[in-house]
Structure 1
Amino acid sequence: MLQDAPTLTDVARLAGVSEITVSRVVRNKGPISRSTRERVQAAIEKLGYVPNRAAGALASAGAPLIGVLLPSLSNIVFPEVLRGIHTALASTGYQPLIGVTDYDPVKEQEILSSLLAWQPAAIITTGFEHTDASRRMLSSSKIRVAELMDTDAEPIDIAVGLSHRRAGFDTGRHLISRNYRRFGYVGHDWNADHRARLRYEGLRAALDEAGLELKAEERFDGPSSTMAGRETLAALLSRKPDLDVVVFSNDDMAVGGFFHCLSANIRVGQTLGLFGFNGLDIGQALPLPLSTIRSNRFAIGRIAVEKLLETGQRPAEKLIVDTGYEIIAGATA
């Protein structure tokens, strides 16, 4: 059963101050001692309290809002998700409020608090990795919440995406069926990209089932990029030159790996197989189309909005929508 959202009165009671003091802290108005401000902020975080800034402003203007939190707009994956969101919202009268978290849960918490203060009709966020305070705010708000890209955990309300662990497992089985046996892995920062780690775990599970193992792996300490993929594959092959296939954390990294192979005169698809994830156009535009998995990013954004707007009330039953994926055989593995 959904609990009532915490109120300003609840915060005041927990912090041991007056409601006026809480209001001043929330609005950052008037002289407040540092210790009092810290007590109030701690109570706000513990309760998941969100002030209603819309009451005297935006709500009276009659502009319904959907809060959208994405980890990046430079990664082509998320603009495609946003395009799906925009398409589904186009004829509804709802307007998106967009925040970019840079894969930082603390930054997500800060943006989320600001978005919820405007009392949006719904919040769309990415993945299940939230701070405790963010989860409390989302859980207690009672508004509709969609967590995108992943289905490997229980959602707050709705999850729309795919099982990354299963995608990694199917990657391993596909490559094993093509007679690859000496596997390597090239990845990027798992702290920022939890879904990449789930795919890695699925790959390991598929290899283990077949009595195989990763012969070598190398991870770049930072976000994925073409240059990171090129440099990291070079480092991997300098240690383990006899691999017959390398699985990359995503297509950005795999495209960089392809360029390394060109410069090192490694025959891709013959001497060494390369496999990515996401199904980006750039991978399919290579001289040899990249072998990869294509996720349904546009559909993820579109379906999330459609499901959120089916009812304004959060249902008792949580919903998981699996948008699936497609293995692209390509020519690199």
Structure 2
Amino acid sequence: MIRVGILGAAGIAPQAVIVPARRRDDLAVTAVASRNATTAARYASTHAIPTSYGSYDELLRSSEIDVVYVALPPSEHLRWSLVALAHGKHVLCEKPVTMDAVEAVELADAAEASGLHVIEAFHDHYHPLTGHLADVGRSGVLGRLTSIATSFTADNPYFPGSIRHVPALGGGALMDLGCYPVHWVRAFTGAEPFVESATYVAGFEGADESIEARLSVGDVTVALSASMAAGVPFAAPFRVEGERGSVEVDNLVLPHRGHRVTTVIDGISRTRTIGGRETYDYQLDAVADAVANNRTQATEGADFVANMTVIDAIYTAAGVPRPAPASSRTGPA
């Protein structure tokens, strides 16, 4: 049995780990930690988790944990992932894996040195839909590719204390949402895009409330955007144009909640869906495979370094102010 401990009494954890773990017989959530013992105990009781801890260090020192799910703000990801590795734990870390590419390199190097796995939680990547889309691209049926358009928008309005809007905690539309389209473009093309230009609209705390970028992958132009402004609809489309036709997915991030794949080849349109379980079930498959078989997964080291590199380049092109380096932000772990 692979034993998982959760860092942070996070709202995403039931959907991402706790509930899908109950559908398995090889992996179980056995502990949760919060900086507040009462909060941790209440969370554990609510979600039927056997053990709770009033500090992250206590959980990480436990010999009864194999994998740590880091469900903290991005500003805390590097710090506590490194501590987890130092205590011999594998890591499933929420996206974005770190605050910038410099931190991502440090984390990837630490994982390699430890012989342990750090997996960035791009759960959607492990769903069969991602593989199907890549197959369409590789098959050549679209002809020479010319453009990609993709975005992720969700209504995450500002309120005081909202970590999604605080730059120092890793807030911003690109960090919270746009990291997905960046990953989709990279996964589909199998190449690293060049950032041509970017613009943003700042929110109340100075983080990007919305952002738009123009990228290129060889001769393929890419329009990428993200927004968490109040009232924007939930949408996660991905569209590719080629000389012979197009393919479009209307919900690439949560396909298990409903999606359509529409291809138009030489004027003939076809719409289908790709069957499968929840994306989070496939993500736990990847975690189990990494731990049990020591196999490197698709969203480990080199992949998350490359993704953060593109995010950094978009922010630079847009002129978005970035937080201070980790050394001055968190101090020693």
TM-score bin, normalised by smaller chain: 0.3 to 0.5
Of Structure 1 and Structure 2, the greater strand share is in 2
TM-score (norm 1): 0.38
Which entry has the higher C-alpha Rg, 1 or 2?
1
TM-score (norm 2): 0.38
